[in-house]
Amino acid sequence: MPRLLEKLPPGRVLEFLHKIVDGICGRAYPRYQDYSNVWSLSEWMKVLEGTMTYFKTAVGKNISDEEAAQQIIELNSDYQEAITKCLKGRKEEIRNALVERVNAISSAQLQDFDWQLKIALSSDKISMLQMPLLNLDLDVRENGEIKPISIEMNKEELQNLINALEAANKVTFTDL
């Protein structure tokens, strides 16, 4: 975190930090116009980027309070206290925003599903069939719009789907 933050009067630092967190969480970032008497434009960019990076890293990497404090040890104690207070108070909010941002990378997300097991008694080629079929209905949200998708699978296709999902689940949990 740049020492440039110390150019901001101590009475305004907590408000500034909370505005940065608001920006991380999808609301409005602080405006340069409100701080142009404190920093030049290049200093502003460094302070903004450094502060955002600090909060995102501290929460995203789930570092301890002691480690987070060590990263800002070069700052005046008033500024350290304000940063720590803001981080502790808004940690969960920052975490949720980071998770949402990662989830939004994939444009399609499963919202709901339903399934039915049916027995196909005959087909156009075979008069007596008795083959189990699974109907899987998915509600997928893509770009804010929910799209229904229906899939019909036989026993082998269902087993392939289950195997693929189990493999994906193993990869997900072993990579964490």
Q: Which residue has the higher pLDDT, 174 or 95?
A: 95
pLDDT > 80? residue 47: yes
Give yes or no: residues 16 and 68 share one domain.
Answer: yes
Smallest Cα–Cα separation from 50: which of 20, 87, 9? 20
Q: Say yes or no: 90 and 70 in one domain.
A: yes
What is the CB-side half-sphere exposure of residue 33 using CA atoms within 13 A? 0
Domain tally, the chain? 2
Give exposure, 143-152, as e/b (b: 16+ Cβ within 10 Å): eeeeeeeeee
Q: Is pLDDT of 124 > 70?
A: no
* Mean pLDDT to the nearest integer, 11-40: 95
> DSSP letter at 121?
-
Quote the CA–CA distance of 26 and 20 in Å, as a whole number. 10
Residue 170: its pLDDT value, please? 82
Task: Tell me the mean pLDDT in the region 113-131.
Answer: 76
Higher pLDDT, 53 or 169: 53
- Where is the domain boundary, 88, 103, 118? 103
Q: Are residues 134 and 152 in the same domain?
A: yes
Say whether both 15 and 95 belong to one domain: yes
Last residue of a domain, one of 103, 127, 146: 103
Whole-number pLDDT of residue 172: 60
| Same domain as 119, residue 56 | no
Residue 18 CB contacts under 8 Å (≥ 6 apart), including other chains: 86, 90
Distance CA 30, CA 33 (A): 9
* Closest to 51 measured CA to CA, from 99, 17, 93, 91: 17
| Structural domain of 68 | 3-103
16 with 98, same domain: the answer is yes
Same domain, 52 and 73: yes
Its pTM surpasses 0.95: no
> Residue 141: what are its φ and ψ, rounded to 5°?
-95, 125
Q: Is 108 helix (H, G, I), strand (E, B) or coil?
A: strand
User: Is the pLDDT reported for residue 18 higher than 70?
Assistant: yes
Shared domain check, 61 and 42: yes
126-168 tens-digit pLDDT: 666 677 889 999 998 887 788 999 999 988 999 999 999 888 8
Res 175 pLDDT > 70: no
Tell whether the model's pLDDT for residue 1 goes beyond 60: no
